Structure 1
């Protein structure tokens, strides 16, 4: 960002509360559906920063997501759910257009950005004006393909105005600020990374089957599993033993999530791939990569780093991946909650 007056120097936290998104994309990857992918929000962050321009005096480096409302547009009859599809207008010759399967969801989310601001925005009035400008710019954009709707007039206790706060240098003061903000985000759930659960489950499966791989562990964490337990009985005349079905517990609200992309080819020069959306930047064929996430109450997070997702540049393996620094608390052993295979 050009000029000393506009160069971001000071760490800050930008909060855009209770953003209503209508008809966001609910098909987050080829293998998952539900909440939009993390890359949809990091992409919105990049688009927002580009809209603001270099002279805005703010840089965005990561985004955290707290979900307050989730309304999937699906049928609810029976065990099989189906998306509610829209009827497209007829073609110019009067024929019926093909129906393209698409999943939609209405969201109520709070977006928290890790930011840096310039000296020109250190004052309270300047930060408030910049936060309002950012919220105004975001209102005309899309998030995960969904349209942003005006806020619903509600209780005065429900925060709806954007805020931009400087992060104190002292760890104690920074922790106090984050805890105060986290209480404002209730009720809601923050999405964090749980790569550690995936690694632990893979180790458990390899102990039983050396041929088990990461996909087996990911699928095992993505489902609810029940097993039959034969109960002891003192009735020797009983022909049918007593069976209890027990659902294996999970350490929290665990979900499978896409976290980025893996490169399938080398970077192609701009304009050399037919049909590319942008002909001015290099092009690369990619496929989705998945991991495991968890929805957790914001008040259980310890600091901002545990909430923020950052998009990392491709490494030597060609991974374009979003990472989150959540650190789970040390678990207390509980023999009644051990998963037996």
Structure 2
């Protein structure tokens, strides 16, 4: 997936793989230090990046890689519980495995959710795929998707009929009906910028973080009537902007870049490491039929999430915009 940003790479999008109705159990519902619900986008992009590297080992697909990913969610059920309507929700957690003495291990259990997802993945190559390559990509995807963890969860099943399909670049609009009913996750940077301006117009000392928190809040506003009664109305900062949700879109380095093997307890000591902190923005759930606006804000070509690295500002992002 990262090869799409290489300067020496001449690969382009030659088609799309549609993976329908992927049922994922026990996915990580904690998407960042302060957000939960739908898993982090990096959890899905990392899975398809791993699939891309595995597909490259196939002789027929040695010149093929996977690019950006469109995320369409049919269902998301965070595993939560509350004893009555007046209590806060708590995440259902387990304590396994048990230690030799029969006591529970002192581990931090993550929140889990059950997902039903459809994915559209860009297929990259220097030349158009032959019929043999298309069939091989479909069969290889069917095989690898069951072996691959998705956002920390396990893939249980796919759609019963035609779970994986290949579409030519000119047939991308034919993918949209296949995604129904679902919602596609889109970047809402423009809406976020508007909300920041609105919040700062009311309070010049407000920060973008204040605007993000304001989007997540409901304001109960009283209105006194002439007879002495009071009407309460509920106001939200995101009214009129669509179905907005806070999300993590990557990380920013907060330290120097350490050479391989210097930083302790990293996941992979073979690569350079760096201390980072999460970066937040807003996303928007869009109904697939709105993606028919070719060339507009909701053009389906703009719905694919890709990695973006900015060395000057130490930014490690996932974005749908080339000019972030």
State the TM bucket, normalised to the shorter chain.
0.7 to 0.9
Counterpart in 2 of 1:95?
103
Most deviating of 131-140 and 243-252: 243-252
Within 5 A, what are the aligned runs for 1:24-43?
Answer: 24-43=27-46
Equivalent residues of 1:198, 1:221 under 8 A apart: no
Counterpart in 1 of 2:113?
105
Equivalent residues of 1:75, 1:84 under 8 A apart: yes
Give 1:111 deviation, angstroms.
Answer: 1.1
TM-score, reference length from structure 2: 0.86
Counterpart in 1 of 2:232?
244
Counterpart in 2 of 1:83?
91
Counterpart in 2 of 1:131?
138
TM-score, reference length from structure 1: 0.82
Counterparts of 2:139 and 2:183, CA distance in 1? 25
Task: Select the residue among 29, 33, 44 that pairs with 2:47.
Answer: 44
Q: Which has the larger radius of gyration?
A: 1
Equivalent residues of 1:29, 1:37 under 8 A apart: yes
Deviations 1:175-211 (A, max 9, x none): xx33321111000000001011111111112212111
Within 5 A, what are the aligned runs for 1:1-341?
Answer: 8=11, 11-53=14-56, 55=59, 56=61, 57-76=63-82, 77-78=84-85, 79-98=87-106, 100-117=108-125, 119=127, 121-123=129-131, 125-151=132-158, 153=160, 159-168=161-170, 177-231=171-225, 233=226, 238=227, 240-248=228-236, 249-301=239-291, 302=293, 303-325=299-321
Counterparts of 2:245 and 2:210, CA distance in 1? 15
Equivalent residues of 1:18, 1:160 under 8 A apart: no
Deviations 1:241-299 (A, max 9, x none): 43232333342211000000010112111111111111211111111111000111111
Counterpart in 2 of 1:329?
none
Structure 2 runs not aligned, ≥5 long: 4-9, 294-298
Give 1:128 deviation, angstroms.
Answer: 2.5
Give 1:16 deviation, angstroms.
Answer: 1.0
Q: How many residue pairs align between the two structures?
A: 301
